[in-house]
Structure 1
Amino acid sequence: MIPRTLFRDEHEMFRESVRKFVEKEIVPFHAQWERDGIVPRELWRKAGEQGMLCCTVPEEYGGLGLDYLFDVVVFEELWRAGASGPGFLIHTDLVATYILSFGTEAQKKKFLPKMVSGEWIGSLGMTEPHAGSDLKAIKTRAIRDGNGFLINGQKVFISNGQLCDVLVLATKTDAEAGAKGVTLFLVEGDRAGFRRGKNLDKLGMHAQDTSELFFDDMRLPPENMLGAEGQGFALMMTKLSQERLAQAIRSATVTETVIQWTVDYTMNRQAFGRSIFEQQNTQFKLAELQAQATAMRVFTDRCIELFMTGRLDPVDAAMAKMLTTELHCKAVDECLQLFGGWGYMWEMPIARAYADARITKIAGGSVEIMKLIIARQMADDARNRG
């Protein structure tokens, strides 16, 4: 196996503490949270006390000011344990990042300390019933009303939607301006006119609350605008590579994990007088997956390095997201097959991993959108050569 060289001793010490936290505070309760459809708020506060939320937030805003690898450790340990319920990634990697990157000093001081502590939970309100990957097509309107804005509209498939205390909301302040009419706002969870719909019943990730959100004449003061008016789409585009990298980290980790589960299971499960692992088909399947998982891990780690130095190209992020999520879905399918009938039982981690995997090829931009991004770059390169 190719050793991972990204992480230093301090990262591995942190990893050990995170792993212990996950084993003690999450794993024993996760099955009940799947039945409940939500993770209790108390977990968020415990994670905040452990220093697991928003690791990169500077000390002046209540954080520890650590490097991105500490966030990566948290994400990897959650996914390695099959803990798909806690929406820490959205909270940390997206919402806190938007506020830290584009927020005013007052916004950072208001929202970030409470997000670091787990007192407030963050969510990202972009997707609408008729606007997923095409964010320019959103219809939620923010109309100037006196000194503030009046907002009406709807969002759907919003992770952490039932629990969120701060929402990064994408709106249209100019319906005729396309991408240049998109504006972002920060919405407090208790603001009048903000209404949560039902907790959606999903194929997988049953413990993570995912909601419809509604905005009925919701008034926001101008100081809740995140960034400048009409700049929302441009701001969102600057963070897509980070979001896609996070998806790649998840998929690389889960792929490795399900292969390990399957090796352990097949070496101990007997069929026709010998272990399933000793069957040539099993060895060939797992050897192929292991080689592909190693290649994806090396590529993903390289993308992490590039991201940390500000050099992760959007096309490289798209390729990482596309390749790792496709391998993720392939791995859980082929590994489940080797578990036989037991693989179809919800009590088995491989069954839940199978159900959780399918969203990865959709979230953060579908694989089809990733292919378009890659192909456009190929065309540009060809024209430049000509």
Structure 2
Amino acid sequence: MNFELTDEQRMLREMVREFSEKEIKPRATEIDRTDEFPWDLWKRMAELGLLGMTLPPDYGGSGMDIVSWAIAQEEMARASVVVADIQLLGTLMQNMILKNGTNAQKRKHLPPMAAGEKICIIAQTEPGAGSDVAGVQTTARPERDGYVLNGTKRFITCAMLADLAIVVATVDKSKGHKGITLFLVEKGTPGFSPGSKEHLLGVKGMATGEVVLDNCWVPKENMLGGEGEGFKRAMMSLDTGRIGIGCQAVGLAQAAMEEAVRYAKQRTAFGGPIANLQAVQCMLADMSAGIEAARLRLRHAAWLKDQGRPIIREAAEAKLLASELAVKVTSDALQIHGAYGYSTDFPIERMYREAKVYQIWEGTSEIQRVVIARQLLKEY
């Protein structure tokens, strides 16, 4: 088994690391404080070709593999999980349209998405339906050779800025997940609008908010995939998403560990640097071991994805390990900082707030355990 990165992957890592260190990291605190979308970094990602990394060149992308994308996700998250997640959103939406869209839909939407000219969102989560995707209440009623959409979505990343939305709705609630259907809805469509902006504990600056669909009519050709196929198609995108989210969590944990090591070597107490204290050393050792283990699980899942193999269990395990790790590492890193860690003068308090969401989005830790257990029961 070869664990070495290719020359192309090493070059990508160095390029993204330099971009992250020089341009993203200096902006991370400001993005968190102002809760404003980082348009400057969005444009720079487009210029560097990072917004269309895995998209085929025919649609304006770079055609990179999932392992390369995973590397980039981790590097960006070391500087800012917000910027990394904005890039992730674009990648997942491009992939969903690429896999499920018609030629006309792909030609219309994918090139401007890769160029940073169009922001596409997934309007799935609702006030009463998060992990239970089959329980969405947004309806799609057939009318005039199209569908009328009605419902409200919550906690939607980039909701306030969306140029295009992939809306998850049901054509028949009695059919459960077999009634779920996907629709492309463009900005300016009557009845489609952003609602209230969400005020979050962390991961600020992503324009997270509501999406309101009020008698929003879309033509039949705006359906993404077939009627009743939305649940299956949405679930298929989760595997890749969990790899990306897991890589973000590892990147965040890596950044928190680095902050803790630096602080421990500088802070003196009891006659010397606290890095000399065994209790502190044990926390640092656990951080490093956990990060390396989670990174390997994620890279393996990404490699399997590139081979075209199923990764339902592997992606869930990787996401679970990385999410739990991020919460533990940021908590211990803050503890090493003591009172300074609780101050906004140090970045660790922001990292601590950001870590919690990784146990929630792209499937909660509890959902990951259910997915893993069900796969195990099928395999053995």
CA distance in structure 2 between the aligned counterparts of 1:249 and 1:262, rounded to whole angstroms:
20
User: Where does structure 1 differ by over 4 angstroms across 4 or more consecutive aligned residues?
Assistant: none
Contact 1:151 1:219 in 2 (8 A): yes
CA distance in structure 2 between the aligned counterparts of 1:216 and 1:90, rounded to whole angstroms:
28
Match of 1:54 in 2: 52
Code of the residue aligned with 1:91 in structure 2: it is L
Correspondence 1:183-198 to 2 at 5 A: 183-198=181-196
Match of 1:211 in 2: 209
- Cα gap change, 1:338/1:39 in structure 2, threshold over 3 Å: closer, same or farther? same
- Cα gap change, 1:303/1:16 in structure 2, threshold over 3 Å: closer, same or farther? same
Give CA-to-partner distance per residue, 1:22-48, whole Å, 9 cap, x none.
344433333333233221434323321
Q: Which of 242, 245, 249 is 1:244 aligned to?
A: 242
CA distance in structure 1 between the aligned counterparts of 2:39 and 2:253, rounded to whole angstroms:
29
Match of 1:38 in 2: 36
CA distance in structure 2 between the aligned counterparts of 1:51 and 1:4, rounded to whole angstroms:
27
Q: Which of 312, 315, 318 is 2:316 aligned to?
A: 318
CA distance in structure 1 between the aligned counterparts of 2:17 and 2:89, rounded to whole angstroms:
19
Code of the residue aligned with 1:366 in structure 2: it is T
Code of the residue aligned with 1:246 in structure 2: it is G
CA distance in structure 2 between the aligned counterparts of 1:42 and 1:119, rounded to whole angstroms:
13
Correspondence 1:159-308 to 2 at 5 A: 159-308=157-306
Residues 1:5 and 2:19 are matched in the alignment: no
Give the number of equivalent residue pairs. Answer: 380
CA distance in structure 2 between the aligned counterparts of 1:6 and 1:147, rounded to whole angstroms:
54
CA distance in structure 2 between the aligned counterparts of 1:312 and 1:338, rounded to whole angstroms:
40
Query: What SS does structure 1 have at the residue aligned with 2:151?
Result: strand
Query: What SS does structure 2 have at the residue aligned with 1:162?
Result: helix
Query: What SS does structure 1 have at the residue aligned with 2:366?
Result: helix
CA RMSD of aligned residues (A): 1.9
Shift of 1:18: 2.3
Correspondence 1:59-138 to 2 at 5 A: 59-85=57-83, 87-138=85-136
Query: What SS does structure 1 have at the residue aligned with 2:161?
Result: coil
Contact 2:124 2:168 in 1 (8 A): yes
CA distance in structure 2 between the aligned counterparts of 1:54 and 1:117, rounded to whole angstroms:
7
Code of the residue aligned with 1:114 in structure 2: it is P
Query: What SS does structure 2 have at the residue aligned with 1:212?
Result: strand
Contact 1:39 1:85 in 2 (8 A): no
CA distance in structure 2 between the aligned counterparts of 1:4 and 1:164, rounded to whole angstroms:
41
CA distance in structure 1 between the aligned counterparts of 2:38 and 2:286, rounded to whole angstroms:
40
Contact 1:38 1:85 in 2 (8 A): no
Code of the residue aligned with 2:351 in structure 1: it is A
CA distance in structure 2 between the aligned counterparts of 1:44 and 1:296, rounded to whole angstroms:
28
Percent identical pairs in the alignment equals 36
CA distance in structure 1 between the aligned counterparts of 2:139 and 2:266, rounded to whole angstroms:
58
Which stretch shifts more, 21-30 or 71-80? 21-30
CA distance in structure 1 between the aligned counterparts of 2:57 and 2:311, rounded to whole angstroms:
29
- Cα gap change, 1:42/1:186 in structure 2, threshold over 3 Å: closer, same or farther? farther
Code of the residue aligned with 2:193 in structure 1: it is R
Contact 2:28 2:80 in 1 (8 A): no
Code of the residue aligned with 2:143 in structure 1: it is D
Shift of 1:360: 0.4
Correspondence 1:333-344 to 2 at 5 A: 333-344=331-342
Query: What SS does structure 2 have at the residue aligned with 1:143?
Result: strand
Give CA-to-partner distance per residue, 1:166-210, whole Å, 9 cap, x none.
111100111211011000011112222111112211011122221
Contact 1:136 1:233 in 2 (8 A): yes
Q: Which of 154, 157, 160 is 1:156 aligned to?
A: 154
Shift of 1:234: 0.9
Contact 1:90 1:122 in 2 (8 A): no
Which stretch shifts more, 342-351 or 355-364? 342-351
Match of 2:355 in 1: 357
CA distance in structure 1 between the aligned counterparts of 2:232 and 2:12, rounded to whole angstroms:
35
